Amino acid sequence: MHILEHLFLVGEFAERERLLSGLTLEQVTFRPEDASHSIYDELWHIVGYQQSIIEPGGAPPGDLFPTVAPEHEDQWHQLVRVFLTGARAAADLGQAPARLAAEVEPGVTLADELNCVAVHNAYHFGKIVALRQRIGAWPPGSQSG
């Protein structure tokens, strides 16, 4: 396993797919009192930043967080799929050492950028776990309250 697979998908804490599993639309859109964002908001933010790095030349991220909540559970599942696909693409870059070594701007390699994304993702996944705990949806697979 390359370090990028470890950082983006499976290591240091629970697998990302598991962290995002078993949630309803009501749970992912609920924002507990005193919380700055919902679970959906946090993942939406992760996806925006992650995609801006793994798809160079794409549209730069606009808003930092969504301005509207999803109306259908399928929108949540689609966001999870986009995250997991992007995380897999980032991890797969570990198989392309020359590409990782390429500078994306003077003095900054793609590997540097991906390490920043992994740290950013870890921070927001910590917030997602804390939100899941607050709403009684932790660990994944438990009965939520």
* Amino acid found at 122: A
Average pLDDT, the chain: 91
pLDDT at 51: 92
CA atoms within 13 A on the CB side of 106: 0
Two structure tokens written together for 5: 């697979």
pLDDT at 47: 95
What is the distance between the terminal CA atoms of the chain, rounded to a whole angstrom? 37
* Amino acid found at 126: G
Tens digits of per-residue pLDDT, 78-121?
A: 999 999 999 999 999 989 999 999 999 999 999 999 999 999 99
Instruction: Measure the CA–CA gap between 35 and 37, rounded to whole angstroms.
Output: 6
Instruction: Measure the CA–CA gap between 9 and 142, rounded to whole angstroms.
Output: 22
Domain boundaries, the chain: 3-134
Torsion, Cα 132 133 137 143, to 10 degrees, reads 180
For residue 75, count other CB atoms closer than 10 A to its CB.
Answer: 16
What's 3-134's CATH class? mainly alpha
